[in-house]
Amino acid sequence: GTGKLWGGRFAGGPSPELEALSRSTHFDWRLVPYDLAGSRAHARALHAAGLVSDADLAALLGGLDALGERFAAGTLQPDPTDEDVHGALERMLLAEIGAEVGGKIRAGRSRNDQIATLFKVFLRDHGRMIAGQVLDLVEALAGQAETHLGAIMPGRTHLQHAQPVLLSHHLLAHAWPLLRDVERLRDWDARVAADSPYGSGALAGSSLDLDPEQVAHDLGFAGSTANSIDGTAARDFVAEFAFVTAMIGVDVSRIAEEVILWATREFGFVRLDDGFSTGSSIMPQKKNPDISELARGKAGRLIGNLTGLLATLKALPLAYNRDLQEDKEPVFDSVDTLEVLLPAFTGQVATLTFDTARMAELAPQGFSLATDIAEWLVREGVPFRVAHELAGACVRRCEELGIELHELTDEQFATIDPRLTPGVRDVLTAEGSVASRRGRGGTAPDRVREQLAELRTAAGAL
Ligand code: ARG
């Protein structure tokens, strides 16, 4: 034998070139605790099936625990000749408790069902972690929304002034998609928790009468996989996870882009906290929104991880193929990326200082109250098509005169059209405009206060 997992059939060991290519311990070592948990459950299943004695089970569990302790202490390291985490841990178990007993653990399992199961458990743990971090960001947005209830800003479409809105309304519009991302993680988790691939073996299942349901329950799954080929070959759970992490990155990038814009001199809407912004090595005056820029950049990377993974899976024949080992690095990267990005981003959002006076001053500018004129005319009985036309004429007149809508005199209004009586002036404030949008989902202060409570209730239920 060669000392490898597959020694018997091979006269010689692998070439160094193959070893270098094949090795995955530099990235799959983080799965050690998950592989050990799987092995404990599997040892108990072997015992329950009568294939391992009480004493052997105790020895196996003791050996696995010892490896777990060494891993926790940071002293468990793979050898350069170890191919992957599974092979390395089996080699170490044998060294720990002897080849006689240690050699029993591999019965009825394959690295193919091992890795499919462990990756699910790993991703479930990190899915919960990321969900918690996203909820922290939701709360940071909600906190800012609460602090600034009543503050008015220019609402935009096409990045042009459109209609005044509450700053809180705008901030909450970023919170809702993030809440849906958390829901996506929960949906995903319920789907993944349904079936554990352990027991699928290499692809065809096991002849040893092991109980995959028992292993599944030990590892926190509701049940075991119905099809052993599917259990070992499917990676849609990885792709779906990668999608949700990419979606989170994209949703965060949309906030990031606005923070970057808002922090410019031209906008002047926000000031960044010193702890969450950076300076320049040459320009002493600089205060840069690096966290938001990194968020924007990392969204691209998260998308890349998803698309790379989908490309790996495309047209891959059943069942296990070694291509599937390529599923781990991109998704580990997505996990690491979000877990370091989200706390920083949340800190940046929570510590933003808004210049609400400047926002309020700009809110009615750029003729953003033109719709209010049109809707006032509609309430006066004018058909909207005509009202739109008349409000447009007001804008044109203002542009000629270089003034804003509320600066038109009663005579100027009357000259444009006699139906534009002085009463129109009542709607020509940003406050009046915002307060008038009082239907559900609208930007009126009362609605936004309710919306904030609704968001927090929804977040609390997750
Ligand atoms: N390390 C592999 C993976 O991540 C699991 C090992 C299966 N290898 C094999 N030759 N069947 O997919």
The residues spanned by each domain of the chain are: 7-107, 112-361, 366-455
Q: Which residues are catalytic?
A: 158, 280
Q: In whole angstroms, how far apart are CA 83 and each of 70, 117, 136, 303?
A: 20, 19, 39, 29
In one-letter notation, the amino acid at residue 462 is L
H-helix or E-strand containing 220? none
**Alpha-carbon gap, residue 334 to 245, rounded angstroms:** 7
Q: Tokens at residue 83, please?
A: 């191919």
State the average pLDDT over residues 254-258.
98
**217 CA from centroid of ligand 1 (Å):** 24
Phi-psi region of 353 (alpha: psi -120 to 50; beta: other; left: phi over 0): beta
When the candidates are 3.40.190.10, 1.25.40.10, 1.10.40.30, 2.60.40.1260, the CATH number that belongs to 366-455 is 1.10.40.30
Q: How confident is the model at residue 284 (pLDDT cuts 50, 70, 90)?
A: confident
The ipTM assigned to this model is 0.95
**325 CA from centroid of ligand 1 (Å):** 6
pLDDT in tens, 226-246: 999 999 999 999 999 999 999
**408 CA from centroid of ligand 1 (Å):** 75
Nearest to 127 by CA among 339, 425, 328, 318: 339
Say if CB 276 and CB 344 are below 8 A apart.
Answer: yes
Q: What angle do CA 68, 70, 75 make, to 5 degrees?
A: 140
Higher pLDDT, 9 or 317: 317
Q: Among 322, 326, 332, which is best to mutate for testing ligand 1, by the most ligand atoms less than 8 A from CB?
A: 322
Q: How confident is the model at residue 2 (pLDDT cuts 50, 70, 90)?
A: low
At residue 240, the pLDDT reads: 98
Above 90 in pLDDT, residue 215? yes
The residues lining ligand 1, judged by C-beta closer than 6 Å to any ligand atom, are: 24, 84, 111-112, 115, 320, 322, 324-325, 328
Q: What are phi and psi of 272, to 5 degrees?
A: -90, 145
Q: Tokens at residue 135, please?
A: 């909820």
**237 CA from centroid of ligand 1 (Å):** 17
pLDDT in tens, 326-353: 999 999 999 999 999 999 999 999 999 9
Say if CB 67 and CB 151 are below 8 A apart.
Answer: no
pLDDT in tens, 145-162: 999 999 999 999 999 999
Minimum CA distance residue for ligand 1 atom 12:
325
β-pair partners for 153:
165
Q: Tokens at residue 48, please?
A: 């329950």
Fold of the CATH domain 7-107: Fumarase C; Chain B, domain 1 (1.10.275)
Domain 112-361 has CATH 1.20.200.10: yes
**Alpha-carbon gap, residue 70 to 14, rounded angstroms:** 28
**Alpha-carbon gap, residue 162 to 153, rounded angstroms:** 11
**83 CA from centroid of ligand 1 (Å):** 9
CA 320 to ligand 1: nearest atom: 11
Above 90 in pLDDT, residue 3? no
At residue 1, the pLDDT reads: 46
DSSP structure class, residue 356: H
Q: Among 32, 112, 312, which is best to mutate for testing ligand 1, by the most ligand atoms less than 8 A from CB?
A: 112
pLDDT in tens, 350-390: 999 999 999 999 999 999 999 999 999 999 999 999 999 99
At residue 282, the pLDDT reads: 84
At residue 283, the pLDDT reads: 86
State the average pLDDT over residues 167-192.
98
Q: In whole angstroms, how far apart are CA 162 and each of 76, 150, 157, 368, 402?
A: 60, 18, 6, 5, 18
At residue 31, the pLDDT reads: 98
Above 90 in pLDDT, residue 4? no
The answer to which of 7-21, 194-208, 261-275 has the lowest mean pLDDT is 7-21
CA 114 to ligand 1: nearest atom: 5
Q: Do domains 112-361 and 366-455 have the same CATH topology?
A: no
